[in-house]
Amino acid sequence: MKRWIPIAVIVLAAAAVPLLLNPTGYWIRVFTFTLLFAAMAQAWNLIGGLANQLSLGHAAFFGIGAYTSTILLLKFGISPWLGMFAGGALGGVAALIIAIPTMRLQGHYFALATLAFGEVARVIANVWTSLTGGPVGLSVPFVPPGFAAYSFKQLLPHAYIALIALIIVTAIFEVIRRGAMGYRLRAIRENAAAAEVIGIDTTKVKLQTAVISGVLIAMLGTLYAQVAVFFDPDTVFNAMSISIRVALIAIIGGVGTAIGPILGALFIVPVEELMNDLFSAGAAGLSQLIFGVILIVVILWRPRGLVTVIEALRTWLRGKGAQS
């Protein structure tokens, strides 16, 4: 019971934040994207953290999700809520197709192969104009507002949907991590040879993880499309701003932990926005440079992620408690 209290406090605090922000302002948008990217990094954390396979191609599934629900809405008037599940299914199939040949690869080779697959997806989305509209991009059509239609006048509902999505993805991550599948993944991660000889079907477990991860990030693609309203292949299938970014968020926060991607997103998304806000008027490009320096400093300071700051803080508080 006791360990639920801090979680409840954090969730309530997160739920209160959008109410304090200007509902038509800039920062509620930043907050929504922070939650969304935290959820995306959490979905990546399944494959990157639990299966220890550094995927740099998750934009492929994310883009598939964004495009599937938007195309279904444009062409058939299907609610994005349903489109989200269609996108999730397609994202899962794509994840399986990519994982079958690449999952045998380890380390750098897996990272490079998935990066290449992600780029292939981007190129396909650009040239398949009859389906995607090509480089021109897609606009999510305006439909009369309402929850069932997933259409809102303000960002506030989007912020709460992103929060709920983050909670669900985090819960799925924790259930898998603590369950039998998590144990299998941990055994594979710690010693693949030993895992195999005790009867773990290493390929199957990794494929399952890849598919779940792909389904989740594809579903989040729909959430992104609904908030962004306009997108093109080079945004949703982007290697840098999607694939590498979600991996970076999880790694900076603490890979393989449930809190890591949340800390990583809380740090990276607002800081990046703040840098852009501060410097882009004076000297374009400077913000990226400073952001890069901040990332390097954080990685050097906390190689195992920001999650270690919390651990250190806890030990320190306990020490304080013991003294008094």
Binding site for another protein (CB under 8 A): 183, 186-187, 190-191, 193-202, 204
169 touches 39 (CB < 8 A): yes
230's enclosing H/E stretch is strand 230-231
- DSSP-based three-state secondary structure for 217: helix
DSSP conformation class of 151: B
CA–CA dist 247, 252 (Å, integer): 9
260 touches 304 (CB < 8 A): no
- DSSP-based three-state secondary structure for 138: strand
Which residue number, 56 or 188, has a Cβ lying nearer to another protein?
188
148 touches 81 (CB < 8 A): yes
DSSP conformation class of 142: P
Shortest distance (Å) from residue 185 CB to another protein: 12
DSSP conformation class of 231: E
Place of tokens 């290697």: 239
- DSSP-based three-state secondary structure for 265: helix
Q: How far is CA 181 from CA 123, 197, 216, 240, in A?
A: 35, 17, 17, 30
Residue by residue, DSSP assigns 46-76 as IIIIIS----S-THHHHHHHHHHHHHHHHHH
Which residue number, 189 or 302, has a Cβ lying nearer to another protein?
189
Shortest distance (Å) from residue 319 CB to another protein: 24
Shortest distance (Å) from residue 186 CB to another protein: 7
Shortest distance (Å) from residue 178 CB to another protein: 14
Q: Which of 106, 102, 82 is nearest to 94 (CA)?
A: 102
Q: Residues for the chain: how many in total?
A: 324
Shortest distance (Å) from residue 182 CB to another protein: 12
299-313 burial, b for 16+ CB within 10 Å, e for fewer? eeebeebbbeeeeee
Shortest distance (Å) from residue 101 CB to another protein: 15
CA angle 262–223–132, rounded 5-degree value: 130
Shortest distance (Å) from residue 195 CB to another protein: 8
Shortest distance (Å) from residue 189 CB to another protein: 9
